[in-house]
Structure 1
Amino acid sequence: MHWADATAKKIIKKRQKQNPKKYLISSGITPSGHIHVGNARETLTADGIYKGLLKEGVEAELIFIADNYDPLRKVYPFLPPEYEKFVGMPLSEIPCPEGCCDSYADHFLNPFINSLDDLGINLTVYKADENYKNGLYNDAIITALNDRDKIKGVLDKYRREPLPEDWYPLNIICEKCGKLSTTKVINYNSEESTVDYECQCGHKNTVKPFDGRGKLPWRVDWPARWKIFDVVAEPMGKDHGASGGSYDTGIKISQMVYRYGAPEKIIYEWIQLKVGDKALPMSSSSGVVFAVKDWVKICHPEVLRFLLLRSKPSKHIDFNLKTLPNIVDDYDELETKYFGLKEKEGNGEELNENEKDKIRLYELCTPKIPNKLPLNIPYKFCVIVSQIAYNPETETIDMNKVIDILKRNNYEQAELLKYEENKEDYNKLKTRLYCAMNWAIEYGEKLILIDSNTAKENYNELSQKQKEWIKLFRENLKNMGNNEESYNASSIHELIYDSAKEIDLEPKEAFSASYKILLGKNYGPKLGSFLSSLDKDFVIERYAL
């Protein structure tokens, strides 16, 4: 059973006595920087559980709370120095760094929200600033102020040094400087529902701390929102779920102050971004990020779902952009198995648990399941084809050239891509080609054919045996027919080996010689497929050295 379904069953079992009308799953993020793939793990984990609940036949809802009312904590590496004046102000009240959005928070939040549809995530978005300004937290603020001794007692149990006796569980946004991290509540009048506060900027006042004037600190805000939204489960990073973390204090505050049972604890591990030989935890503040908005530039959204949902949330993931083609291969393999297993199931054959799990994983990863097995051209091959078929004058990939290349590489379905009934396959292939090309340019290797002069220089450095092979291979290549049955990847592959065998040359020496005169390297893509993708006249001319 997939972990999302198992978690959903567990939640229902624990909550069924309460007979909830709706099972609400929450996730969220503070949009202080680029929302990256590591952040997406929380939202996709929540989405997996949400879909697991729906499978069980209960009413469920998925929400996302953007903590955009949190203060800017420092001038991050990606910000100009002048943002120092905004440190301490709520993110929603700070101007956009590039002037393209309504606020600093929206600048980082909007691209993520816009990606949700592509990712197949259907949720309701709430913004903390609106929640506070619309009065959603007003009662929770009064409750926290009235029970501040209980809250302080809970927090002090997990602190080395107790909070000051005059501490209040509330931050006020200064009316003069607009900051909330530099203010201090010095008195609360329960009869008038007002607080006295002072700010480091020198401003003092007595205000009603409602409708956005005041904000609960995180360790109080979190349990308050559980009660406000009636949350039954919420994924959390391991820092929040650690012993003495905000979940442990949140449970007690939720029960003792807000009279609400805390949601199910679901901890997810960090995703580390592989940079060179090091794997570093993704962090917006440190600049170690790969933004969700950038994923769709290099790969299909369902592959990101696959990457994050195939493992339990507690399993550590190292994300290496250079190995993306392998992840796509794994997804394509799952997709092929899915359609095979569905056919087997449709024929009345019994599936084992492992086969059922594969079907379920594919369903969770693929928001829009196609009617039939798509034509999946391997991502690694798309990296090559896209660059060969790219027309720099029009800045587009020539799809007619792509289809010709595929036909020469024994993809018999390629000709069918031209017809209307195969538009779905055509569009998916086109998307994959552009993604693969973007990946190659940014994270892989550009396919650059060296000029003839450089090829000649490299040819002169080859062994006599390699030079002899190049001449022989060229002659044999010339004798091949130009039609697809003759000039194709498999035929060229055989010719490489046969020509090498004819002069008793190790095949790897033949491959190395070819790459040197084509790419200026000792390695390259599969040679048979590569040569068949190039114009035959060009290949024959290049081997005439």
Structure 2
Amino acid sequence: MHWADGISEKIVNKRETEKYVVSSGITPSGHIHIGNARETLTADAIYKGLVSKGVNAELIFVADTYDPLRKVYPFLPEEYEKYIGMPLSEIPCPEGCCESYAEHFLKPFLDSLEDLGINLTTYRADKCYKDGLYDEKIILALENRDKIKEILDKYRKEPLPENWYPLNVICEECGKQSSTKVIEYDSENQTVTYECSCGFKNTVKPFKGRAKLPWRVDWPARWSIFNVVAEPMGKDHAASGGSYDTGLKIAREIYNYRAPEKIVYEWIQLKIGDKAVPMSSSSGVVFAVKDWMKVCHPEVLRFLLLRSKPTKHIDFDLKAISNLVDDYDELERNYFALKDKAEKEELNENEKDKIRLYELITPNIPEKLPLQVPYRFCSIIAQIAYDMESKEINMERVMDILRRNNYDLESVDEYDLERLKTRLSMSRNWALTYGEKLEIIDINKAKEIYEELNEKQKEWIKTFGEKLKDVEFDAITLHELIYNSAKDLELNPKEAFQASYKIILGKKYGPKLGSFLASLNKDFVVDRYCLSR
């Protein structure tokens, strides 16, 4: 059983409700990266698990757009220092392209969710507060401030001040919420008196967006507003004494609500060289979800994040995306083979799990096994077939390359063609940015390198070049010719490969040689192996 189905089953067995609401959220203080996406995808998997149980379920996303800007992050201009303490929704867009700072970082992420096959209802915290959704919760918090303080103090080294109030008012003068302090609450008139470090002081009704609950009170209030039964959370929130522990008690004792199930997920670290560094929007160590969509299929991101339990740590290596796609392609082949097998015999649990995983990670399942061209090979083809004038990949040349690499293209349909085009474009972007750019050296450089080879390698290149003229120019034939011609000359095939890569790419390694040569223009290849003339 997939972990998402297991969690969903546990929730249904433990709770009985008209609607099972699964929530996710993020503070759009910077670029929303794939580490953040783990929360939303985990929530989506649990939601899909609930749907499969036949219950009424809903997936929601709450963007914490009313949180304050905490500092000038590395990606911001220095003049943004004046906005520190103001709600993100009230700060100008850093690039002038969106209606606010919050929307600038939130919109690309929300746009990506559709590609990821995630359908949810989005709520923005600033609008929720301004629309009055939190008004009743604010009153309850103010009237129970001593009880809330008691709950929070149990987990603090230093108790909160006696005059502490669970509310942050947004100053009417400077627009900041981090610099205000509530000094009195009038329960009869439901007003608060506050003062700000800017010198402004006033008595207001703290409703309709005039004030915001602090996080540890806001979170349990939100659970009760939206009737949340499940919400994934990072290990920081789930730690002993963290915001989930205090939220659980505040939800029960203040808002008379049962806290959602505790579902913890681990961080994703970005591999940079030999080091793995935790992704962080504030530090600028990110790989944004919008950037993923430029280099790889959305279902592969779902595969990365959903194939293992949320509690499993993930180190993400940008250079290894091709390996990840290979694993996804293998699962896809298994899915269609197992679906055929299931029509004839009972599948074991491992086989059923493979089918379920593919269903959970693939938003739009094709009717048949699609054409599969390995991602790394696509990155080579796309660079070879790229037309510099039109700035497009020449698909006629692509199809010719695939035929010479022994692909059967007779049953290729429109779906196959569109997916192939997408993979070609994405893999080219990946190769140029994170993988390896294909750079063929010029003939003069190749001749210099040829002269540096040993005599056996020179003899093999000459022999191989002569035989190339009279053979079928396809990957299998070329692969066999490389080995057989090296064997005839008693040359280690490894030396033949190295010599080939050197005179074409200027280095000792490269793509699978037979396929690579078959992808190039035959006249060019023959000419390149005739360096001795």
Query: Under TM normalisation by the shorter chain, which class is it?
Result: over 0.9
- Secondary structure of 1:117's partner? helix
Q: TM-score, normalised by structure 1?
A: 0.97
- Secondary structure of 1:88's partner? coil
The total of aligned residue pairs comes to 531
Aligned counterpart, 1:290: 287
Letter in 1 for 2:267: W
Letter in 1 for 2:237: H
Aligned counterpart, 1:163: 160
Q: CA deviation at 1:345?
A: 1.2
Aligned counterpart, 2:12: 12
Determine the C-alpha separation between the residues in 2 that align with 1:293 and 1:24. 26
Is the 2:466–2:530 contact (alpha carbons within 8 Å) kept by the matching residues of 1?
no
Does 2:343 match 1:352?
no
Determine the C-alpha separation between the residues in 1 that align with 2:527 and 2:428. 26
Aligned counterpart, 1:536: 522
Determine the C-alpha separation between the residues in 2 that align with 1:461 and 1:184. 77
Aligned residue among 506, 509, 524 for 1:523:
509
Q: CA deviation at 1:142?
A: 0.2
Does 2:220 match 1:223?
yes
- Residue correspondence of structure 1 range 53-92 to structure 2 within 5 A: 53-92=50-89
- Secondary structure of 2:70's partner? coil
- Secondary structure of 2:300's partner? helix
Aligned counterpart, 1:510: 496
Determine the C-alpha separation between the residues in 1 that align with 2:385 and 2:165. 65
Structure 1 stretches of 4+ with a deviation exceeding 3 A read: none
- Residue correspondence of structure 1 range 245-324 to structure 2 within 5 A: 245-324=242-321
Aligned residue among 330, 333, 344 for 2:330:
333
Determine the C-alpha separation between the residues in 1 that align with 2:66 and 2:443. 61
Aligned residue among 429, 432, 444 for 1:441:
432
- Secondary structure of 1:410's partner? coil
Q: CA deviation at 1:416?
A: 4.3
Q: Deviations over 1:347-400 (max 9, x none)?
A: 3x1000000000000000001000000001011110111111111111100001
Does 2:440 match 1:453?
no
Q: CA deviation at 1:346?
A: 2.1
Is the 2:237–2:244 contact (alpha carbons within 8 Å) kept by the matching residues of 1?
yes
Aligned residue among 354, 357, 364 for 1:361:
357
- Residue correspondence of structure 1 range 100-499 to structure 2 within 5 A: 100-347=97-344, 349-413=345-409, 415-417=410-412, 422-480=413-471, 486-499=472-485
Determine the C-alpha separation between the residues in 1 that align with 2:156 and 2:448. 70
Q: TM-score, normalised by structure 2?
A: 0.99
Determine the C-alpha separation between the residues in 2 that align with 1:231 and 1:140. 15
Determine the C-alpha separation between the residues in 2 that align with 1:286 and 1:222. 25
- Secondary structure of 2:61's partner? strand
Q: Deviations over 1:216-244 (max 9, x none)?
A: 00000000000000000000000000000
Q: CA deviation at 1:487?
A: 1.4
Determine the C-alpha separation between the residues in 2 that align with 1:156 and 1:222. 17
Determine the C-alpha separation between the residues in 1 that align with 2:358 and 2:259. 32
Determine the C-alpha separation between the residues in 1 that align with 2:295 and 2:59. 27
Determine the C-alpha separation between the residues in 2 that align with 1:201 and 1:464. 82
Q: Deviations over 1:293-348 (max 9, x none)?
A: 0111101100000100000000000000101001000000000000011111123x
Q: Deviations over 1:60-88 (max 9, x none)?
A: 00000000100000000000000000000
Aligned counterpart, 1:483: none
Letter in 1 for 2:264: I
Structure 1 unaligned segments of length 5 or more: list them. 481-485
Q: Deviations over 1:169-214 (max 9, x none)?
A: 0000000100000000000000010000000000000000000000
- Secondary structure of 1:196's partner? strand
Q: Deviations over 1:2-22 (max 9, x none)?
A: 000000000011103xxx110
- Residue correspondence of structure 1 range 21-36 to structure 2 within 5 A: 21-36=18-33
Letter in 1 for 2:438: L
Letter in 2 for 1:364: L
